[in-house]
Structure 1
Amino acid sequence: MEDIIPPVDRSLLLKELTRERFLRHTNKAGNDIYVVTAHNAPNVMREIGRLREMAFRDAGGGTGFEADIDRYDTMQEPCRQLIVWNPDAEEIIGGYRYILGNDVRLNADGQPDIATAHLFRFSDKFLRDYLPHTLELGRSFIQPKYQSIKGGAKSLYALDNIWDGLGALTVRHPEIQYFFGKVTMYPSFGSLGRDMILHFLNRHFGDRENLVTPITPLEPDKENLRRIESLFPHSDMKDNYKILNHEIRALGQNIPPLVNAYMNLSGTMKVFGTAINDEFGYVEETGILVTVSDIYSDKRERHIETYAADIKGDLQFDRFGIS
């Protein structure tokens, strides 16, 4: 396990966070969102790698290297880095990395050259009908300082701020019809709570078309499964969610924030099963697909339409009835 690198000098970060890399102001908490790459902002990338490794190690994952930076961050056509920037403290709160599906190249085996390809197999239908219109998301993080309520509004709205950025990307790139990403659970969470959450997700959001499948699927504990199968008697997702939330809290835990965020984004979300990531602290990764046009109206208004309204004079948007 390598020591994590020291913080990157703020003056170097500020030099790279230029006007042309600014995406939008957040709706809450007075933060800014930027999009950079390792090529045009190497110091920001180094700081992102430092903060990601800190956040993931604290949760029980991480790469074990001095910074979480891999070839998908640095290759010729790299993932772009969306970050939430605190202009008061002059520091990164959190972020996501992403790549547009129509920028993804296929490997010799016909599978996409993306970070999730060592965990999941992608069907011909997904590659043909979904990938060209998909934004692949990964490495979601909130730096540890902003994971506590002691951080006030900056912490409270950190994840919401990230969704402001993702919403803006759907406006900037109208070809985006889907978000494809992963939700991560850590071995420290415990198998019973994990299996409850995964059973719930597969029941209400399971992929019935085998669009994407785990290469080595995580199998639930058989004893857990016997207990869980009778736990959710309702057909309605919201009723079963109340039971899930109660049971998880009874275990002294909480449903992971990103799991909640995706579930509260769209009722047509698809879940693709779960794989163990042996390159990232053996965390458990569940594939997720969200259809952008099915995002709930309140989320669409907050994260997408606010940005569309801000730049209405520059672009025309009709996909959400915005003109």
Structure 2
Amino acid sequence: MLPIIAPISSHALDADLAQLPELARILTHKDYEVWLASAEKIPSILQEIGRLREISFRAAGEGTGQPIDLDHFDTYYQHLFIWHKERHAVIGAYRLGFSGDIMPEHGLNGFYTYQLFDYTPAFIEQLQPCIELGRSFIRVEDQRNFVPLLLLWRGISTTAYLNPQYRRLFGPVSISADIPSLLRQLLAETLLKLHGEPELSAHIKARNPLPDRHFCPDMLAGITHSKELESILQANMPDVRMPVLLRQYLNLNGRLLSFSLDPQFSNTLDGLVLVDLDRVDQQTLSRYMGSQAAHDFLKKVDIDSYKPHAA
């Protein structure tokens, strides 16, 4: 592991923020602001995001091992980030890739997840238009506060509300290499059983699959809910819980499509997850959009033209 770069000065961060248009501010909550911007508009903030990513991921047993976690995808993806006005600090961020921008310029290779999963053009065609989510983090000292994660998801939901054609979200969700291989295999197989979507999974092949180790069908049949899976995990590793982000996706009716190891990211196991916002019940969606906005969003979605994937 190489030493992480020094913090970016608050003066440089403030300068980036000052030149962003007001429309880039997605929402405000007390001392927090959520912004959405492209890389060229926030050069200093992006460096700080890359620095904080690496700190956060290393603390979770992941990370690139480099001084900063930035790659070429960052140059053309959009960046959703939380800014704390009083602390003059980035609190958390998500990376958003809009398929309408990526496919014409870069094709399938333009998606980060295509490095991990070999999926067919038909897979993306079934999702289009869609947003690839990834590289999410909350600053280590703020991770016990539920507000930042809620604000990131409010930011994503608001972005979808303003662009209702982008109602499908997909991306990787990480399971740390700190969890033993056997338990990770159990997590993967059970999540595919409980929350899978075979019709879409048929278009996807993991580039670095887990070893081919199948559990007894009777054992898997006995697990009927992800909470039972979490109980098994905690019984074997009392200090380890189901990853927060994975639980978040499952709460949004997320579907797990495949799992692949990421050798460039501390051999983390990545699940490819899909969330259809129009398959999220209105009450849950209201937590992130607000009641009226959730109602309006679901009305905007052209249900008649949308063919749901097989459950």
Q: TM-score, normalised by structure 2?
A: 0.86
Checking the alignment, whether the CA contact within 8 Å between 1:178 and 1:291 is kept in structure 2 is yes
Q: Given the alignment, which residue of 229, 247, 253 partners 1:244?
A: 229
CA displacement 1:171-215 (0-9 Å, x = unmatched): 121210200111101111222432332222111122211133312
Secondary structure of 1:104's partner? Answer: helix
How far off its partner does 1:229 sit? 4.7
- Alignment correspondent of 1:123: 120
Checking the alignment, whether the CA contact within 8 Å between 1:106 and 1:112 is kept in structure 2 is no
Q: Given the alignment, which residue of 251, 258, 268 partners 1:273?
A: 258
Q: Over aligned residues, Cα RMSD in angstroms? A: 2.4
User: Does residue 1:187 correspond to 2:188, yes or no?
Assistant: no
Aligned pair in 2 of structure 1 residues 30, 195: CA closer, same or farther (>3 Å)?
A: farther
Secondary structure of 2:198's partner? Answer: coil
Matches within 5 A, 1:1-323: 1-17=1-17, 18=20, 19-26=22-29, 30-74=31-75, 78-105=76-103, 111-130=108-127, 132-147=128-143, 149=144, 155-209=145-199, 210-219=202-211, 221=213, 225-226=215-216, 229-233=218-222, 237=224, 240-251=225-236, 252=238, 253-266=240-253, 269-305=254-290, 308=293, 318-321=296-299
Aligned pair in 2 of structure 1 residues 140, 229: CA closer, same or farther (>3 Å)?
A: farther
Letter of the structure 2 residue corresponding to residue 273 of structure 1: S
Taking the aligned partners of 1:119 and 1:107, their CA distance within structure 2 comes to 20
Q: TM-score, normalised by structure 1?
A: 0.83
Checking the alignment, whether the CA contact within 8 Å between 2:108 and 2:121 is kept in structure 1 is no
Structure 1: gaps spanning 5 or more residues = 150-154, 310-316
Aligned pair in 2 of structure 1 residues 196, 297: CA closer, same or farther (>3 Å)?
A: farther
Structure 2: gaps spanning 5 or more residues = 301-311
Secondary structure of 1:303's partner? Answer: helix
Letter of the structure 2 residue corresponding to residue 21 of structure 1: A
Structure with the larger helix share:
2
How far off its partner does 1:233 sit? 2.2
- Alignment correspondent of 1:313: none
- Alignment correspondent of 2:308: none
Letter of the structure 1 residue corresponding to residue 5 of structure 2: I
- Alignment correspondent of 2:304: none
Identical pairs, percent: 26
Checking the alignment, whether the CA contact within 8 Å between 2:81 and 2:90 is kept in structure 1 is yes
Letter of the structure 1 residue corresponding to residue 110 of structure 2: D
Checking the alignment, whether the CA contact within 8 Å between 1:170 and 1:304 is kept in structure 2 is no
Aligned pair in 2 of structure 1 residues 52, 7: CA closer, same or farther (>3 Å)?
A: same
How far off its partner does 1:30 sit? 4.6
Q: How many residues align?
A: 294
CA displacement 1:110-148 (0-9 Å, x = unmatched): 634111111112223223221x3110011011121112x
